[in-house]
């Protein structure tokens, strides 16, 4: 019974809001019957409501279309090519690396040449191979990743040779840009404009520093610590980075590396503060 009452009520409601015949015919004519001959309506819209400007606009489009038909196909092709080149340049520019964004920062190849003239950085580059030096260009230098070598009481040369031998053993992918020895000597084994295999997904935009350590606590010797701070700060200055851009391997992937700085957060913060001090000293 209630349902019937509702239906009756609704019908009454709808009767109340139903448009008059006049309104319906207006709606049909103007909005729904586009197949009908509405030429007078179109004329009215053009002439009365918006004046001649729309008609002129139609003529402009027709004129442009006719003009385009007269343009040789190769002119159109060249225009499209030029547009593509400009678009590509714009996209490339938007991927600008930090080295170009930071005033005074140098390019990777400039820094590499500078390293070759530093007597406190030795060089013994790895042979180019799939497992430790792929020879791929580093996309950018957006950070510096600190590692420990993970093999206690080994030297920089021993670890460099281990990376070089991966070309033969094909055991795994591993390498670094720099290795700091127990005695503080710094050995570069990958150029700073190339990718090294050390920091997982950050291999593409960071430099890696492996530090040798005397025991399985992962703690650095004083000499290795001082060299790590010096090298990190030197690279930060050249690439326009701050200590905020200096991270642990742990910060990339959660790996226990460098072990001592993961297990001793305070020591890590001290390391970064020491890097800051050297950066400030270098720029003053
Ligand atoms: Zn690591």
CA of 152 from ligand 1 middle (Å) equals 14
In terms of domains, do 123 and 209 share one? yes
The dihedral over CA atoms of 259, 261, 266, 267, expressed in degrees to the nearest 10, equals: 110
CA of 206 from ligand 1 middle (Å) equals 13
Of 66, 94, 122, the domain-final residue: 94
Q: Tell me whether residue 64 is in a domain.
A: yes
Q: Tell me whether residue 245 is in a domain.
A: yes
User: Which residue segment(s) compose the domain that 76 sits in?
Assistant: 21-94
CA 181 to chain centre: 33
CA of 224 from ligand 1 middle (Å) equals 16
Q: Band of the pLDDT at 222, cuts 50, 70, 90?
A: very high
CA of 258 from ligand 1 middle (Å) equals 6
CB 201, CB 208: distance < 8 Å: no
In terms of domains, do 160 and 246 share one? yes
CA of 238 from ligand 1 middle (Å) equals 23
Of 94, 125, 147, the domain-final residue: 94
Gap between the terminal Cα atoms of the chain = 92
In terms of domains, do 260 and 177 share one? yes
Q: What percent of the chain has pLDDT over 90?
A: 62
CA of 15 from ligand 1 middle (Å) equals 79
Q: In the prediction, which pLDDT does 16 show?
A: 40
Q: Can you state the angle between helices 108-116 and 222-239, rounded to 10 degrees?
A: 140
- The overall average pLDDT reported for the chain is 81
Which stretches within the chain are classed as H helix?
2-17, 21-27, 39-44, 53-70, 73-94, 98-101, 108-116, 156-169, 222-239, 249-253, 259-263, 265-283
In terms of domains, do 89 and 122 share one? no
Q: Does the pLDDT value for residue 98 go beyond 60?
A: no
**Distance (Å, rounded) from C-alpha 251 to C-alpha 201?**
11
- Identify the H or E element spanning 144: strand 143-148
In terms of domains, do 258 and 192 share one? yes
CB 212, CB 156: distance < 8 Å: yes
CA of 98 from ligand 1 middle (Å) equals 24
Q: Tell me whether residue 268 is in a domain.
A: yes
CB 220, CB 260: distance < 8 Å: yes
**Distance (Å, rounded) from C-alpha 202 to C-alpha 240?**
18
CATH number at residue 278: 3.40.80.10
Q: In the prediction, which pLDDT does 237 show?
A: 96
Q: In the prediction, which pLDDT does 174 show?
A: 97
CA of 49 from ligand 1 middle (Å) equals 73
Of 40, 68, 94, the domain-final residue: 94
In terms of domains, do 163 and 67 share one? no
In terms of domains, do 163 and 271 share one? yes
Tens of pLDDT, residues 46-87: 444 444 444 444 456 566 667 667 787 888 888 888 888 877
In terms of domains, do 207 and 116 share one? yes
In terms of domains, do 123 and 233 share one? yes
In terms of domains, do 253 and 118 share one? yes
Q: Tell me whether residue 155 is in a domain.
A: yes
CA of 67 from ligand 1 middle (Å) equals 64
Who contacts 162 (Cβ-Cβ below 8 Å, separation ≥6)? 174
- Both tokens of 97, joined, read 């690396």
Between the CA of residue 151 and those of 144, 188, 208, what are the distances in Å?
21, 18, 17
CA of 113 from ligand 1 middle (Å) equals 26
Domain tally, the chain? 2
Between the CA of residue 117 and those of 43, 101, 111, 220, what are the distances in Å?
81, 26, 10, 27
Question: What is the pLDDT averaged over residues 127-134?
Answer: 97
Question: What is the pLDDT averaged over residues 263-281?
Answer: 97
CA of 205 from ligand 1 middle (Å) equals 15
Q: Tell me whether residue 81 is in a domain.
A: yes
Tens of pLDDT, residues 151-185: 999 999 999 999 999 999 999 999 999 999 999 99
Q: Tell me whether residue 11 is in a domain.
A: no
CA of 90 from ligand 1 middle (Å) equals 36
CA of 198 from ligand 1 middle (Å) equals 6
Q: In the prediction, which pLDDT does 48 show?
A: 42
Q: Does the pLDDT value for residue 257 go beyond 70?
A: yes
Q: Tell me whether residue 102 is in a domain.
A: no
Q: Tell me whether residue 241 is in a domain.
A: yes
CA of 188 from ligand 1 middle (Å) equals 16
CA of 256 from ligand 1 middle (Å) equals 8
In terms of domains, do 156 and 277 share one? yes
CA of 130 from ligand 1 middle (Å) equals 19
CA of 263 from ligand 1 middle (Å) equals 14
In terms of domains, do 57 and 134 share one? no
CB 107, CB 171: distance < 8 Å: no
């Amino acid at each position: 019974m209630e349902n019937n009452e509702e239906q009756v009520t609704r019908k009454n409601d709808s009767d109340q809001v139903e448009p008059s015949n006049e309104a319906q015919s207006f709606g049909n004519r103007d909005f729904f019957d586009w197949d009908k001959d509405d030429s007078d309506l179109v004329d009215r819209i053009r002439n009365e409501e918006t004046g001649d400007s729309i008609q002129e606009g139609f003529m402009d489009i027709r004129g442009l279309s006719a003009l385009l038909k007269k343009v040789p196909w190769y002119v159109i092709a060249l225009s499209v090519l030029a547009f593509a080149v400009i678009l590509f340049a714009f996209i490339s520019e938007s991927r600008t690396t930090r080295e170009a964004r930071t005033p005074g920062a140098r390019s990777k190849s400039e820094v590499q040449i500078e390293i070759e003239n530093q007597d406190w950085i030795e060089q013994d580059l790895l042979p180019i191979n799939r497992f430790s030096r792929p020879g791929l260009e580093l996309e950018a230098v957006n950070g510096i990743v600190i590692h420990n070598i993970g093999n206690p009481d080994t030297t920089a040369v021993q670890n460099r040779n281990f990376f070089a031998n991966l070309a033969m053993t094909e055991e795994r992918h591993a390498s670094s840009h720099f290795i700091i020895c127990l005695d503080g000597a710094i050995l570069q084994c990958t150029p700073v404009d190339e990718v090294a295999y050390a920091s997982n997904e950050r291999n593409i935009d960071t430099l890696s520093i492996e530090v040798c350590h005397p025991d399985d606590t992962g703690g650095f010797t004083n000499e290795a610590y001082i060299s790590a701070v010096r090298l990190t700060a030197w690279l930060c200055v050249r690439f326009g980075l701050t200590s905020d851009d200096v991270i642990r391997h742990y910060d990339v992937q959660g790996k226990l590396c460098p072990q001592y700085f993961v297990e001793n957060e305070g020591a890590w913060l001290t390391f970064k503060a020491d890097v800051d001090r050297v950066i400030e000293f270098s720029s003053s």
